[in-house]
């Protein structure tokens, strides 16, 4: 979805406080901070046995934090909390601009918004993108190829996700920052504000709407994987800048020294490697340990969000900060800026920033699938991130490894004259061994989906998997030899690039 909030995890904003767009038709005119009620950074560091202080952990600032008795919980008017937080914006803007080495070109108005008003905003934006039969057709296609386990009301699922998880957002259309949730922790509120003000800076210098939808609503759309990749940059930078702010705000430093940068990269790597199930569990534990009712509800709501929506949303912040850190290490903010002038082409590049983004990019391959009789329902690129989600939700314990050799793909779902669906999938892999690993993992997913040997869908239609060297092809819903021949004749080529 291009007009939905780009969610940010408040778990990366919360220090040690317990309060902390595939079906995602990615891209957005709005950015938001997501709350999951989890102190992921310090928990991750502890789990790994790290002795490096975590920027998420208040114990690094106050040695008495661990032994101090919790103060009695006082319920304060959200509007009062919000007004106090918004009054701190000028000082946050000043330090963030110095840290980011980018002065604000214009002021950024801000206000508190109720959950009810936020839902109205989200539902209106969703209606623009998923009106009529579009959402229904998209869901049908994603269920057919197994990206969704069951049919859902996509618009409602997207709205529920945004409303349950968003703590704040920046809207490039209004050029305005909205605070939605009001945790009582001032540090968390200030880091949320730093995150959203970073989006304002991005918008003022790089035009977020154009970055996420470069050809406009009438031009050729970016693939889902391309837009997910750009979300990694937008949200990854905001997350990285937020932590840089957190690490330097008290000292007034305007750069990250080598020691601070090394510690931050280590913590980001630890956090980025957490699975979505680990994040869910930690979020609930932290919320129950003392989070607000809003944070508890946000953590509980994560269980109801389909993986194809939740994982790209979460990863754009936690994993998205890693390529930003790599860029900053290579050449500071000037190198980060290059990721806007020359955007990434795939989630693969950003999931492996030290090998497939730097020192040189691993350019993905593309192909054109053969046209079929009937009506095209949906066609898109899954990408490495999407294949991780697919394999994980069908029980592949090695989904990350089995998707890691991705080099390109394209799927299309057609509706036959009799109403049945036909799915065509073509994938390219870095090596023949990578293709073999994916083929085996995909065949195993078919067994999980359909039972037996996985060669027949529930309606009896055939599913055929063919590997040719470094390519794996899937005909999902037909045993027609002509369809198979046409699909396996599809040729991949490296995308055009400078």
DSSP states of 71-115: PPP----HHHHHHHHHTTHHHHHHHHHHHHT---SS---EEE--H
Coil, strand, or helix at residue 411?
strand
pLDDT at 118 over 70: yes
Please, which residues have CB within 8 angstroms of residue 255's CB and are 6 or more apart in sequence? 99, 248
| Average model confidence (pLDDT) across the chain | 85
Higher pLDDT, 198 or 5: 198
pLDDT at 301 over 90: no
pLDDT at 149 over 70: yes
In the predicted model, what is the mean pLDDT of residues 274-302? 74
pLDDT at 406 over 50: yes
Give me the torsion for CA of 314, 318, 323, 327, rounded to 10°. Answer: 130
Q: Give residue-wise pLDDT tens across range 71-85.
A: 556 678 999 999 999
Instruction: Measure the CA–CA gap between 413 and 426, rounded to whole angstroms.
Output: 12
Residue 30, pLDDT score: 55
Instruction: Measure the CA–CA gap between 3 and 6, rounded to whole angstroms.
Output: 9
Q: Which of 183-192, 435-444, 470-479 has the lowest mean pLDDT?
A: 183-192
pLDDT at 69 over 60: no
Residue 290, pLDDT score: 60
Q: Of the segments 35-39, 180-184, 286-290, 474-478, which one has the largest average pLDDT value?
A: 474-478
Distances in whole angstroms, Cα of residue 54 to Cα of each of 25, 51, 242, 491:
34, 9, 14, 48
pLDDT at 47 over 60: no
pLDDT at 17 over 50: no
Instruction: Measure the CA–CA gap between 464 and 484, rounded to whole angstroms.
Output: 8
Residue 53, pLDDT score: 40
Backbone phi and psi for residue 377, each to the nearest 5 degrees, phi listed first: -90, -45
- Bridge partners, residue 32, by sequence: 7, 169
Tokens found for residue 56? 């998420």
Distances in whole angstroms, Cα of residue 261 to Cα of each of 96, 195, 200, 248, 416:
17, 18, 24, 11, 55
In the predicted model, what is the mean pLDDT of residues 235-244? 94
Percent of the chain predicted with pLDDT > 90: 61
Q: Which of 80-89, 127-136, 475-484 has the lowest mean pLDDT?
A: 127-136
Q: Give residue-wise pLDDT tens across range 409-439.
A: 999 999 999 999 999 999 999 999 999 999 9
CA 266 to chain centre: 20
Q: Give residue-wise pLDDT tens across range 333-380.
A: 999 999 999 999 999 999 999 999 999 999 999 999 999 999 999 999
Higher pLDDT, 52 or 310: 310
Q: Give residue-wise pLDDT tens across range 250-281.
A: 899 999 988 889 989 998 998 888 888 888 78
Residue 73, pLDDT score: 61
Instruction: Measure the CA–CA gap between 199 and 171, rounded to whole angstroms.
Output: 9
- This prediction has a pTM of 0.87
Q: Which of 152-166, 234-248, 397-411 has the lowest mean pLDDT?
A: 152-166
Closest CA to 316 of 248, 402, 394, 224: 224
Per-residue pLDDT band at 66 (split at 50, 70, 90):
very low
Per-residue pLDDT band at 63 (split at 50, 70, 90):
very low
């Amino acid at each position: 979805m291009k007009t939905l909030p780009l969610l940010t995890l408040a778990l990366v904003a919360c220090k040690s406080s317990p309060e902390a767009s595939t079906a995602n038709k990615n891209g957005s005119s709005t950015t938001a901070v997501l709350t999951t009620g989890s102190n992921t950074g310090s928990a991750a560091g502890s789990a790994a046995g790290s002795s490096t202080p975590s920027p998420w952990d208040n114990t690094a600032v106050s040695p008495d934090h661990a032994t101090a008795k919790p103060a009695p919980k006082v319920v304060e008017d959200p509007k009062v909390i919000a007004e106090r937080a918004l009054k701190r914006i000028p000082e946050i803007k000043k330090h963030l601009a110095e840290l980011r080495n980018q002065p604000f070109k214009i002021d950024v108005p801000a206000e508190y918004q109720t959950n009810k008003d936020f839902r109205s905003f989200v539902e209106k934006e969703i209606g623009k993108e998923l009106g009529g039969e579009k959402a229904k057709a998209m869901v049908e296609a994603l269920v057919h190829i197994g990206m969704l386990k069951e049919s859902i009301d996509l618009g409602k699922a997207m709205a529920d996700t945004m409303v349950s998880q968003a703590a704040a957002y920046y809207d490039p259309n209004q050029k305005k920052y909205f605070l939605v949730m009001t945790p009582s922790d001032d540090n968390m509120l200030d880091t949320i504000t730093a995150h959203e003000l970073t989006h304002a800076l991005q918008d003022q210098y790089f035009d977020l709407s154009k970055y996420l939808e470069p050809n406009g609503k009438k031009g050729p759309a970016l693939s889902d994987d391309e837009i997910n990749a750009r979300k990694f940059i937008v949200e990854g930078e905001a997350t990285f800048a937020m932590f840089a702010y957190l690490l330097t705000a008290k000292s007034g430093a305007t750069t990250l020294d080598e020691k601070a940068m090394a510690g931050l990269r280590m913590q980001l790597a630890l956090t980025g490697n957490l699975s979505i199930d680990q994040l869910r569990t930690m979020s609930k534990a932290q919320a129950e340990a003392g989070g607000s009712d809003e944070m508890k509800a946000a953590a509980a709501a994560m269980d109801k969000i389909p993986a194809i929506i939740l994982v790209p949303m979460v990863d754009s912040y936690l994993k998205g900060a890693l390529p930003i850190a790599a860029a900053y290490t290579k050449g500071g903010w000037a190198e980060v800026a290059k990721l806007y002038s020359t955007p990434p082409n795939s989630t693969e590049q950003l999931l492996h920033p030290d090998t497939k983004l730097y020192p040189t990019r691993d350019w993905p391959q593309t192909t054109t699938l053969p046209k079929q009789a009937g009506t095209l329902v949906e066609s898109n690129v899954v990408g490495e991130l999407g294949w991780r989600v697919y394999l994980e939700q069908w029980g592949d314990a090695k989904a990350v490894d089995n998707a890691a050799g991705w080099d390109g793909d394209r799927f299309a779902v057609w509706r036959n004259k009799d109403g049945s669906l036909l799915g065509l999938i073509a994938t390219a892999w870095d090596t023949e061994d990578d293709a073999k690993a994916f083929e085996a993992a995909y065949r195993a997913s078919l067994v999980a989906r359909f039972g037996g040997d996985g060669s027949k869908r529930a309606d009896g239609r055939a599913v055929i998997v063919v590997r040719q060297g470094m390519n794996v092809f899937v005909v999902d819903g037909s045993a027609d030899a002509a369809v198979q021949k046409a699909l396996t004749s599809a040729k991949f080529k490296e995308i055009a690039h400078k």
